[in-house]
Amino acid sequence: MSALNLDDFADLIERPDGGVRRDAEERRGRLALPPGALGRLDELGEWLAAAQGSVPVRPVRQPKVLLFAGDHGVASLGVSARPAGSAQQLVRAVLDGSSPVAVLARHAEVPVRVVDMALDCDPEELPAEVGGHRVRRGSGRIDIEDALTAEEAEVAFRTGMAIADEEADAGTDLVVLGDLSVGGTTPASVLVAALCGTDASVVTGRGGRPIDDLAWMRKCAAIRDALRRARPVLGDQLELLRTVGGADLAAITGFLLQSAVRHTPVMLDGVVSAACALVAQRIAFRAPDWWLAGQTSGEPGQAKAFDRLALEPLLAHGVTAGEGTGALLALPMVRAAAALAAELPVIDEKPGDDGLEAADDVNTDPEPAA
């Protein structure tokens, strides 16, 4: 395996096309509706046009929910309402269609893909398409030990990159990104606190299943102890993920960066994807221009991360179920923005004119990073 050079991403990732966005803004100005009448839908439509390199914007036809799964050793401290090592139950609920994200995805006709990175179960217990990328069985207990070895961290990161390439090559035009983890909000909170320079108490939330005060104090203490281990490696993002992240978090970070390279828009969900986005921003400062914040869950670490990323959540429903559920709720809003931007006639168009005068100007889909 060749050495992974994270600095390459800063050169490979470009911003969405500014010229196309200006064209989209100009087209919006020629609609019969007055400026501001569609609220954030106008902004979303222009963002999509720039991301696609197309005016008018194309419909979002092939979205996908992508969930990275893993168990975290720190859950053994009682920092989660779920038993340590039980993330496989979350995966099974998605696969059998009984979880919130599975129900919503089924009704929205959006496929769901689950990737096992570090579940604490026998691989044979899961379908091959779920478990084929596993790096290890559970990530390490980050308050006293590293989450991963150096080799595991790189393999997990590269796995995320490879999955981003697979989705781009398959024509996925928007990814709703989430996680299926037990204990995952603890390393995510450590990453947010470390990268934002805050104390453990500022980022410690109560998780998808709210924990009681004693569990919150245990979680806060675990984050504080892991922060001491994180601060010496802040200058090396892969080392940071190895030390206090986990296989699923490393994969999500690699996925986010390679998706930006491939010009694939991504909608972030909870604190785990938000924390990985913060790490990715440190690697390539232009990468956040390819992401949307789906919703605000009320988790303090998520709010801190979105603020640092300058991403304003589309919804504020306070959904704490995780699994990409909150972000998936925002997908109809994105689809609506695309439909309005594409189909509302401009003042100088004749009936039936589809306004495709600029649609062939740009077609950006760069080759995968080496």
Please tell me the total count of domains within the chain: 2
Q: Report yes or no: 342 and 58 within 8 Å, Cβ to Cβ.
A: yes
Measured between alpha carbons, how far is residue 8 from residues 209, 220, 276, 284 in Å?
39, 35, 18, 9
DSSP 33: S
Shared domain check, 198 and 284: yes
Band of pLDDT at residue 355, cut at 50, 70 and 90:
very low
Residue 205: the pLDDT is 87
Shared domain check, 150 and 117: yes
* pLDDT value at 35 more than 90: no
Least confident of 20-29, 221-230, 247-256, 347-356: 347-356
The most confident of 8-12, 54-58, 361-365, by mean pLDDT: 8-12
Shared domain check, 165 and 25: no
* pLDDT value at 370 more than 50: no
* pLDDT value at 323 more than 80: no
Shared domain check, 219 and 120: yes
Give, in degrees to the nearest 5, the angle at Cα 39 between 257 and 288. Answer: 10
Shared domain check, 47 and 108: no
* pLDDT value at 368 more than 60: no
Shared domain check, 243 and 107: yes
CATH of the domain at 211: 3.40.50.10210
The dihedral formed by the CA atoms of 69, 237, 310 and 265, expressed in degrees to the nearest 10: -50
Least confident of 121-130, 225-234, 300-309: 121-130
Q: Report yes or no: 41 and 57 within 8 Å, Cβ to Cβ.
A: no
Band of pLDDT at residue 338, cut at 50, 70 and 90:
very high
Residue 37: the pLDDT is 82
The gap between the terminal CA atoms of the chain, to the nearest Å, is 12
Residue 269 lies in a domain: yes
Residue 242: the pLDDT is 98
Residue 348: the pLDDT is 65
* pLDDT value at 346 more than 90: no
- Domain span at residue 261 reads 63-332
Residue 364: the pLDDT is 44
Shared domain check, 340 and 311: no
Q: What mean pLDDT is reported for the chain?
A: 90
Residue 258 lies in a domain: yes
- pLDDT digits over 301-315, tens only? 999 999 999 999 998
Residue 350 lies in a domain: yes
CATH of the domain at 53: 1.10.1610.10
* pLDDT value at 356 more than 60: no
The percent of residues in the chain predicted with pLDDT above 90, rounded, is 74
Shared domain check, 339 and 328: no
The percent of residues in the chain predicted with pLDDT above 70, rounded, is 93
Q: Hey, which residues are catalytic here? A: 323
How is the beta sheet containing 266-268 ordered, strand by strand?
A: 112-118, 63-71, 174-182, 266-268, 291-293
Residue 181 lies in a domain: yes
* pLDDT value at 68 more than 80: yes
Shared domain check, 245 and 107: yes
pTM: 0.91
Calpha distance 275→144 (Å, rounded) = 21
Shared domain check, 92 and 13: no
The residues pairing with 175 across neighbouring beta strands, listed in sequence order, are 64, 266
Shared domain check, 107 and 166: yes
Mean predicted confidence (pLDDT) in 48-58: 92
Least confident of 72-76, 112-116, 206-210, 310-314: 206-210
**Sequence-ordered strand ranges (E) for 11-50:** none
* pLDDT value at 288 more than 90: yes
Which residue type occupies 242? R
Residue 149: the pLDDT is 97
* pLDDT value at 169 more than 60: yes
Residue 349: the pLDDT is 52
